[in-house]
Amino acid sequence: MFQPDLMGVESEGVAEAVRKCIQSCDIDLRVPFFKRIVASGGCSTYDGFCARLQHDIERKEAYGATVKVSQPAHPTTATWEGASILCGLSTFDNMWVSSAEFQEYGPSIILRKCSQ
């Protein structure tokens, strides 16, 4: 996950992907984002995952920010829990993609909804 090239996969590692994502954000948000990285999902439960992620991000340029990687209490279900909360908010109603819309338009419906 950190060095996919070792497996012959031409891709950046997870730490580089997180760092690039934060770098693509508004400059005023970068420092707070580096301080609030949350690792969730099954792979984040591997021993040392959060420490390695934090170390690898710190090793690269992080705008002098303190890097803090944390893990929610239930990392394997945290993403699902967050999504279920969003589903209950009317603010996002126009962004949902129904199964029927996906069947009719395919993956392109995602871009269409997100660019509105």
Residue-range domains of the chain with CATH? 4-76 (3.30.420.40)
Kindly give, in sequence order, each residue whose CB lies less than 8 Å from that of residue 91, ignoring residues fewer than 6 positions away.
Answer: none
Please report the pLDDT score of residue 62 as a whole number. 59
User: For 84-116, how does the pLDDT look when each residue is reduced to its tens digit (9 = 90+)?
Assistant: 888 888 887 777 888 999 999 999 998 888 776
pLDDT value at residue 113:
81
Q: What is the 3-state secondary structure (H, E, C) of the chain?
A: CCCHHHHCCCCCCHHHHHHHHHHCCCHHHHHHHHHCEECCCHHHHCCCHHHHHHHHHHHCCCCCCCCCEECCCCCCCHHHHHHHHHHCCHHHHHHCCCHHHHHHHCCHHHHHHHCC
Percent of the chain with pLDDT over 70: 97
* Alpha-carbon torsion angle 99, 101, 102, 106, nearest 10: 160
Name the least confident of 9-18, 33-42, 58-67: 58-67
What is the predicted pLDDT for the residue at 116? Answer: 61
Encode pLDDT of 40-56 as tens digits: 988 899 999 999 999 99
Q: Tens of pLDDT along 3-24?
A: 888 899 898 999 999 999 999 9
